[in-house]
Amino acid sequence: MTTSSFTVMTPTDLPISVGTPLDGPSKTVISDQINAHGFVVFRDYGISTAQDFHGFIETFDLPNFTYTESFSNAVRHNRTSRVFTANEAPPEVEIFLHHEMAQTLIFPGQLFFFCEKPAEKGGATPICRSDLALLALTAIRPEFVAKLRALGVRYRNSMPIDADVASGQGRSWKDTLNVSNTKQAETRLTELGYSFRWLNDGGLSVQTPALMAVDEFGRGRDVFFNQIVAAAASWANADDDPEPRLCFGDHSRIDTADLEAAINVSYENTIDIQWQKGDIALLDNLKVMHGRRSFEGTRSVLASLCSPIARPALRL
């Protein structure tokens, strides 16, 4: 079934059997939809548990990217070796559009979501075609986009000493960096080219090296690959960490009007996945951003990351 903006596949369209790897023609059918829309939704495949979801992912034969290996700031908990909870921020907290882990040096090429339980109200997953957002932003803010292309962007965030489940960025610095003490944290950040400062409460303020904000990944079509929208819209400062969450790669200031324009054009090029129980979505992380609408009641959406991609920092 094809909507005006994306495809919902059912077993009638494409049979998929857990335990049986997808054949070449089946992969081509899925790739055609991903190439056209950046994502595809699978519905009515009888997936009801984390273990079922794990098995469904395995049929695609994509490399696993464990959450422990990642540099993500969100609090999540593993259900299987490749399935974990999506961002566990409270229901009233909106998670703004972003490319998964685009603020880090390693990120997934694809990600899966599975709706274990839809919310009573709200809780949709917005999806934005970043190539379209970039075209729209370039039309109204050409100088901003040109500067992003030339200088990239640096991100700053505050990692708490203990996990903060009330925050969309509440993962502790020990878990984020996969270390057990401050010396190990400092060594890891130095190796990665991050700058850092310890906060009064034992938390850690870190700033990334300069990272690409626009890229085409060898595909011939540029995308707005970054976390600028999420950072500008929602990343909070710690009490003793007043520096801006974003700046250009040369440390110069980004104008607020430019950030607002980036937010606006991204949401203007967004469509929502309205979840049904058992739905699975496969996203091309190099083409689309995603987020989470606020919701009421309980909601359980699980996630899985695939095909880790590493990149160097920009040299300015």
Q: How many domains does the chain have?
A: 2
Same domain? For 179 and 245 the reply is yes
Place 259 in a pLDDT band, splitting at 50, 70 and 90. very high
Residues spanned by the domain of 49: 8-88+107-116+274-310
Same domain? For 231 and 299 the reply is no
Tell whether pTM > 0.85: yes
Average pLDDT for 223-250 = 91
Amino acid making up residue 11: P
Average pLDDT for 234-239 = 80
* 141 occurs within a structural domain: yes
Q: What pLDDT is stored for residue 67 in this prediction?
A: 78
Average pLDDT for 232-260 = 92
What is the rounded average pLDDT for all residues in the chain?
A: 92
Place 2 in a pLDDT band, splitting at 50, 70 and 90. very low
Model confidence over 162-174: pLDDT tens digits?
877 666 667 889 8
Same domain? For 184 and 249 the reply is yes
Place 303 in a pLDDT band, splitting at 50, 70 and 90. very high
* 287 occurs within a structural domain: yes
Residue finishing a domain among 245, 264, 283: 264
Task: Output the domain CATH number for residue 290.
Answer: 3.60.130.10
Model confidence over 54-99: pLDDT tens digits?
999 999 999 999 877 777 776 667 899 999 988 777 899 899 999 9
Q: What pLDDT is stored for residue 75 in this prediction?
A: 65
Q: What pLDDT is stored for residue 165 in this prediction?
A: 66
